[in-house]
Amino acid sequence: MKKLLFLLTILLTMSSMAQTYYPFPDSNAQWNIHMLQMGWPPVEENYSIIISGDTLINGLLYQKLSIVNPVWYKGAIRQDSINRKVFIIPPAALTEELLYDFTMQVGDTVQGYIETYHARDVVESIDTVLVGNNYRKRWKINSGYNIYFIEGIGSTYGLVEPSPGTIVDAPDFSISCFRQNNITIYPDTVSSCELITSVKPVEAQNDQLKMYPNPSHGSITIEFDKSMNIKEIRLTDLPGKIILEQQTGGRTKMEITNLQNGLYILTVIDKDNYLTNKKIIID
Secondary structure (DSSP) of 64-103: EEEETTTTEEEEEEEEETTTTEEEEE-TT-SS-EEEEETT
Structure-model confidence comparison of residues 62 and 229, the more confident one: 62
User: 43-76 pLDDT, tens per residue?
Assistant: 778 899 999 999 999 899 999 999 987 678 999 9
Amino acid type, 245: E
What's the CA gap between 210 and 119, in Å, rounded? 35
Domain definitions of the chain by residue range: 26-186, 202-282
pLDDT range class, residue 17, cuts 50, 70, 90? very low
What's the CA gap between 4 and 155, in Å, rounded? 40
Structure-model confidence comparison of residues 260 and 75, the more confident one: 75
CATH class of 202-282: mainly beta
CB of 210 closer than 8 Å to CB of 223:
yes
pLDDT score of 129: 94
CB of 215 closer than 8 Å to CB of 73:
no
Structure-model confidence comparison of residues 208 and 231, the more confident one: 231
Q: Is the dihedral of CA 176, 181, 182, 187 positive or negative?
A: negative
Q: 3-state class of 239 per DSSP?
A: coil
Structure-model confidence comparison of residues 8 and 253, the more confident one: 253
Structure-model confidence comparison of residues 236 and 276, the more confident one: 236
The pLDDT of residue 36 is above 80:
yes
Closest CA to 205 of 274, 138, 158: 274
Percent of the chain with pLDDT over 70: 81
**Mean local confidence (pLDDT), 145-167:** 93
CB of 220 closer than 8 Å to CB of 279:
no
Bridge partner list, 229: none
Q: What is the mean pLDDT of the chain?
A: 82
- The region that residue 229 occupies, defined by phi over 0 for left and psi between -120 and 50 for alpha, beta otherwise, is left
The pLDDT of residue 11 is above 50:
no
The residues, ordered by sequence, that sit 6+ positions from 249 with a Cβ below 8 Å of its Cβ are: 230, 231
Q: 3-state class of 151 per DSSP?
A: coil
Bridge partner list, 75: 65
